[in-house]
Structure 1
Amino acid sequence: MSVSTLSRFANKVVIVTGGASGIGQAVVRRFAAEGAIVTATDVNETGLIEGAEQVKRLATAGGRSSFVVGSVADEDSVKKIVQDVVDREGRLDALINVAGIIRSKSIIDTSLDQFMEPISTNLIGTFLFSREALPHLLKTKGNIVNTASTAAHYGHPFMAAYAASKGGVESMTKALAWEFLRQGVRVNAVAPGGIETPLSTNNQGNLADVDLTLFQRLIRPDYLWGKPDQVASIYALLASDDGGFMTGEIVKVDGGVHN
């Protein structure tokens, strides 16, 4: 685990969703290490506590963090989290939407409720946090970084619901980028490929052995997976002034698998 020597987010107030594990936790660590005042939210309370201990060790540039348990798909919870951050810190500079779930299953065997699970978390959660954050980001000329996926634009089998949710995230990212372009708010997204996280590891248990082999070969043919910290650095680039001339972009981070 590397610690950045940069301090691009000194005194910047940042919300990170899905901050309890995987990419989200790595993003929290990275932003805090660069001096950000981070509020991370997740439904996984245990993971948030573990992440808090890591941030304490890594926040070398004056950053700090707080952790809030809440669902991104719960409208009242989202409203409260955003307002509490602004009331406490006086501003909001960036929103990093990472929270997500995967459901791998043949579309034939997928119920409507099962199809809606990724839609509710991945797409509606991104919408709710973006809607609540934007009035505050307009004041600071801040930005949003969403989480898309290579599944949105390449054929990943058994992932129709997940792919649909991430396709929606990509389209919403581009729409918001244009809507707020002249008002100084940037909106971009990161599209990870196969990244070694609890989300991707736990998800593989849903597939039969023959389907799992196909799934793995299509997503990562050489069976090598990226690390969360490698992806977190791209979120930091997009949210910082180094990415100041980027908006409406979907940045693929997949180790070259889909080239």
Structure 2
Amino acid sequence: MDDFKGKVILITGSSAGLGAGTAVHFADRGARLSLTGRDEAKLKGVVSKCVQAGLKESDVLTTVGDLTDETFRNQLVTRTVDTFGQLDVLVNNAGSMVPGQLSDPGMDSYHTQFDLNLTAQVALTKLAVPHLLKVKGNIVNVSSNLSFVPWTGCGAYCMTKAALDMFTKVLALELAPEGVRVNSVNPGACHSEIFRGFGMDNQQAEVFLESIAKTNPVPRPGEPEDVARAIAFLASDKSSFITGELLVVDGGGRYAKGEIKYFWPGKFPDILLEGLENLKTLHELSHSWPPIKALSSQESFWSLTVDPGTRPEARDWRPRSAMYPAAFFIEKVDSSET
């Protein structure tokens, strides 16, 4: 399939995960690519996959750097247009998820996420728009289903994605008269490297993803290809009458019968760890803990399945000990299983 042959597509955050998968997908469809990320070695690996998919090495431009840097953003767009002579599609994929509560002291994690997930996307888009106008191109922002679903433990991330969604909608209205479309893909939990921000290694991330998948109507984690196909659809002429749309790709996760209510970086207080083998003891350690149906552990992950009739306050579940690169989450189950 070469329906993007002759098109030039700039994909941010393309050294791994969803961005890398999207790059290979577009390569398979004949597009010329401008890829960017912070890891040069990983970018080279993605280039190799794009060449295997049918592109020539000269069809793939890589620019290594930090997207939050203004000079780098200018360099990225300039190099893309100087190399290929045009820019047809901008895929704003770069982003980060940093754990923490909105009530935590300090603003560092807040600024880190807003700088990359929102400000850098808006600034890069401003640089790209003049070139997109020339070819009546389009923009696809990569947001998240967490723009709709508040998730304790990564509130700032949820806020950045909600703001990115509104950016998509407003910019779509602004640019539609000029022939440029703007849409968003909002993935759910997918195989990507975003969970590294929580200190998870690949094995831990897999445990976490599989646990989430159990609650999804489509009972599996998302794959980069799932998201890539959605991005390519919105970037193609097949969606020429679609703009300002938020296309959710989460296996129905936002409608899950067993919705994940809380997810925290950290570990249980030591006093709780001492009682993990005895559910009754664990339950009695705090009067505010809801009835616990099941408890399991693997590595640094603790899964508590709680009675669906309870809605514990966040403060009742928050680890009171120091933060560690681990996590626990609470899975709410269907009432028919109680």
- 2:192 is the counterpart of 1:194: no
Partner SS state of residue 36, structure 2: strand
Alpha carbons 2:172, 2:181 under 8 Å: kept: yes
Alpha carbons 1:156, 1:215 under 8 Å: kept: no
Cα distance in structure 2, aligned partners of 1:197 and 1:172: 24
- 2:81 is the counterpart of 1:86: yes
- 2:221 is the counterpart of 1:225: yes
Q: 1:220 to 1:60 in 2, by over 3 A?
A: farther
- 2:226 is the counterpart of 1:251: no
**1:34 aligns with one of 9, 29, 50:** 29
- 2:114 is the counterpart of 1:116: no
- Paired position in structure 2 for 1:205: 199
Q: 1:136 to 1:59 in 2, by over 3 A?
A: same
Letter in 2 for 1:108: S
Instruction: Choose between structure 1 and 2: higher helix proportion.
Output: 1
Cα distance, 1:140 vs structure 2: 0.2
**2:133 aligns with one of 129, 134, 138:** 138
- 2:25 is the counterpart of 1:16: no
- Paired position in structure 2 for 1:238: 234
Q: Which runs of 5+ in 2 are unaligned?
A: 201-206, 256-338
Letter in 2 for 1:41: T
Letter in 1 for 2:99: S
Aligned-residue sequence identity (percent) comes to 32
Q: Which runs of 5+ in 1 are unaligned?
A: 1-5, 207-212
- Paired position in structure 2 for 1:44: 39
Alpha carbons 2:191, 2:209 under 8 Å: kept: no
- Paired position in structure 2 for 1:100: 95
TM-score (norm 2): 0.69
Q: 1:76 to 1:177 in 2, by over 3 A?
A: same
Partner SS state of residue 251, structure 1: strand
Between structure 1 and structure 2, the one with the greater Rg is 2
Deviation per residue, 1:96-140 (Å, 9 max, x gap): 010010012222335211111110111011111110000000000
Partner SS state of residue 119, structure 1: helix
Q: 1:103 to 1:219 in 2, by over 3 A?
A: farther
- Paired position in structure 2 for 1:69: 64
Cα distance in structure 2, aligned partners of 1:107 and 1:214: 22
TM-score (norm 1): 0.89
